[in-house]
Chain A
Amino acid sequence: MGLTLAEKLIARAAGRDEVRPGETVTVRVDLAMMHDSSGPRRIAPILERLGAKVWDPERIVLVSDHWVPAVDAQSAEILAITRRWARENNIEAFYDMVGICHVVLPQGGHLRPGMFAVGGDSHSTTGGAFGCYMFGVGSTDMAGVLVTGETWLKVPESIALDWSGKLQRGVCAKDINLALCAHLGLGGAEYAAVEFTGSLIAELGMEERMTLSNMAAELGAQAGLIAPDETTTEWLEAAGGNPGEAAPWRSDKDAEYSATHEFDAGSLEPQVAAPHSPANAAPASSYKGVAIDQAYIGACTGAKLADLHMAAQVLDGRQVARGTRLLVAPASRRDMMQADTDGTLAKLMGAGAIMMPIGCGACAGFGGGVLAEDEVCISSTSRNFQGRMGAQSSKVYLASPYAVAAAAVAGEIRDPREFLAKG
């Protein structure tokens, strides 16, 4: 019996020929990524207590993205601790306020197909888009990795999410994620490694693939994998990384999946997920007319260059509705600079968008742009748990950058296809 992509990646890291679902294995970690919130401020005291040093500074990537820019003495202190720790531990790959960890990591050329990586953040599943086995861990778990270079893992079952056909104009990876959350339920993957397969996935660019793998977290998946191909290799080369070999990292033909779900991309409509769960997703038309106070384009899920392009397609030549505000927090400095060069930023700002600092921003309620009591927001982020983006009674609808931009222009939720020329 063959192996799935997940099983191959885990077996390699465990130094084994094969692993099977259900067994617990010890694995060598190729790369450990952490950010200002889960990183040095929490792991430094543990390393000190253990009297231990990091196992390999060259395998650590540190990103300040959650509490940036500092808004008070407490957040400033968290960032200061992060900088000091990077210096004292000779962490060369330290990215300070230049983007969100899940986006900066591949843009910095740190990922390579076949890698086994952990990240101190639940959306670390994003690395799966590059054919890496990557998942999120808490700070104490991370401290264990930093000291030993190893961690443990129960080998998950694999679930294939197979998408064929072509997406309609105005429909994107985010809509796939939301539809999957509704179909499988929040946490519906129950620890399995999900693998996105099918002719549609092969045609998607890397940023759209990253969005898919990113929200594997909301499916409760242990990892969100996509077999690497030429698209992956070319993207990583352009990022200045060493893409290694893509070919070995695909599921065997006779690999065993615990389930295979097949979907037709062509019939997928733009989705909107109502408060307070991504699983409350339904076609955008079913929430038509819901008035919004704020439209937010941000986060690793929804503010990469491709996401900014989608928003600009809707916003070009239009204006944000009176009484509504549109906030845009780009996912990385590189994305923002490219959006500047190609004219995207001018379209966003021309429509009335308010540019926010690069970083995680309001997604988890840490940065600027949080909500008042009873306010309603539509957001390109990944989670709309109660109270996450601000006041307890605030309401967040999740949608694609197209749909967020459409709602900003209309002042209410609409099907974004109304704002896109047929083509």
Chain B
Amino acid sequence: MTGSEGAAWVFGDNIDTDQLAPGGTLKGGVEEGASQCLRAVNPDFAGQVRKGDFVVGGRNFGIGSSREQAAQALCHLGVAAVIAPSFGGIFYRNALNFGLLALVCAEAGKISQGDRLTADPETGEVRNLSRGEVYDCEPLPAHLLEIVSAGGLVPYLERKLR
């Protein structure tokens, strides 16, 4: 299964949860938070990212707080997957719990802003259509793939508890 095509939004190392979900927005709802997502590093991102686009990060993407609004904001903006060489441990869980595919990809640094990508959640294969390259990511363990495929932990539990 190959996912659909989208553009890459590329960020550097150590994108933290205060950048993804600024503290000042946490009292409010997800719309407000998402509109401010990553404004400190790319003020155009929240307004211009399109459904199905990809966020490509450097090391420690999502490091910091346990606030899951960091992952929820990306979901709300329609991001198809986050691809990075390493993730903050809590962000990684939060992303999958929201049904947001998070792929550990050692070669994420080869992706440039605007490259057209596809990602296969089952094999973990990322295709860079703009460069004709294929990157291997660490495949998700089966139970996490199940959670992502269900659309997140809540729909997964909904099914399981029924």
Please, which residue of chain B has its CB at the minimum distance from the CB of A223?
B89
B27 CB to closest chain A CB (Å) equals 4
Asked if A141 and B40 make an inter-chain contact with CB atoms under 8 angstroms apart, the answer reads: no
Known: A140-B94, A190-B86, A385-B64. A364 touches B23 (CB 8 A): yes
Give every chain A residue within 8 A of B71 (Cβ-Cβ): 138
Choice from A37, A119, A385 contacting B18 with Cβ under 8 Å: A385
Known: A138-B71, A141-B93. A388 touches B23 (CB 8 A): yes
Choice from B22, B28, B65, B152 contacting A122 with Cβ under 8 Å: B65
Is B53 an interface position by the 8 A CB rule?
A: no
Is B118 an interface position by the 8 A CB rule?
A: no
A347 CB to closest chain B CB (Å) equals 31
Interface 1/0 per residue, B142-162 and A, CB below 8 Å: 010000000011100110010
Please, which residue of chain A has its CB at the minimum distance from the CB of B24?
A365
Give every chain B residue within 8 A of A46 (Cβ-Cβ): 154
The count of chain A contact residues (Cβ–Cβ below 8 Å) is: 47
Known: A364-B23, A385-B19. A120 touches B66 (CB 8 A): yes
Is B76 an interface position by the 8 A CB rule?
A: no
Interface 1/0 per residue, A357-387 and B, CB below 8 Å: 0000000111000000000000000010111
Asked if A37 and B26 make an inter-chain contact with CB atoms under 8 angstroms apart, the answer reads: yes
Is B90 an interface position by the 8 A CB rule?
A: yes
> What CA separation (Å) do A388 and B63 show in the bound complex?
13
B69 CB to closest chain A CB (Å) equals 9
Q: Which residues of B96-128 are within 8 A (CB) of A? A: 97-98
Choice from B22, B66, B88, B157 contacting A50 with Cβ under 8 Å: B157
Interface 1/0 per residue, A39-75 and B, CB below 8 Å: 0001000100111100000000000000100000011
Chain A interface residues (CB < 8 Å from chain B): 24, 37-38, 42, 46, 49-52, 67, 74-75, 78, 119-122, 124, 135-141, 143-144, 147-148, 152, 154, 186-187, 190-191, 220, 222, 277, 364-366, 383, 385-388, 392
Q: List 27 A-B contacts (CB under 8 A).
A: A37-B26, A38-B68, A75-B27, A119-B66, A122-B66, A137-B90, A138-B67, A138-B71, A138-B90, A138-B94, A138-B97, A140-B68, A140-B94, A140-B98, A143-B154, A144-B157, A147-B161, A186-B60, A187-B88, A190-B86, A191-B89, A220-B63, A220-B89, A385-B64, A386-B19, A387-B40, A388-B23
